[in-house]
Amino acid sequence: MASLLDSFLLCLCLASFSQGAQPRRQPPVPQKPPIETVALQPDFDPEQFAGTWFLVATASRCAYLSENHYRLEATNVVVTLVPNADSGEKALLFSTFRPLEGHCWNITQTYFPGKTRGRFQIKGRGLPVEVAIGETDYSSYAVLFLQRAKGLSAKLYGRSAKVGPPVTTKFERRVRDLGLDENDHIFYFPSYGFCHTADSFHTLDETKFTGTS
Q: Which residue range(s) make up the domain with 98? A: 49-195
Query: What was the pLDDT predicted at 85?
Result: 73
Query: What was the pLDDT predicted at 137?
Result: 97
Domain assignment of residue 34, yes or no: no
Domain assignment of residue 17, yes or no: no
- CA distances, 193 to each of 5, 97, 103, 121, 182 (Å): 66, 11, 12, 30, 25
pLDDT per residue rounded down to tens, the chain (213 residues): 444 333 333 333 332 223 344 455 655 555 678 888 899 999 999 999 999 999 999 999 888 888 888 889 999 999 999 988 777 788 999 999 999 888 999 999 999 999 999 999 998 777 889 999 999 999 999 999 999 887 889 999 999 999 999 999 999 999 988 777 766 789 999 999 999 999 989 998 988 776 444
Query: What was the pLDDT predicted at 15?
Result: 29
Query: What was the pLDDT predicted at 180?
Result: 75
Amino acid at 32: K
Q: What's the domain count of the chain? A: 1
- CA distances, 87 to each of 80, 82, 83 (Å): 17, 12, 9
CATH code at 159? 2.40.128.20
Identify the sign of the CA torsion 175, 119, 48, 193. Answer: positive
Domain assignment of residue 27, yes or no: no
Domain assignment of residue 15, yes or no: no
Alpha carbon 11 to chain centroid distance? 49
Distance from C-alpha of 139 to C-alpha of 133, rounded to nearest angstrom: 15
Distance from C-alpha of 46 to C-alpha of 119, rounded to nearest angstrom: 11
Domain assignment of residue 21, yes or no: no
Domain assignment of residue 23, yes or no: no
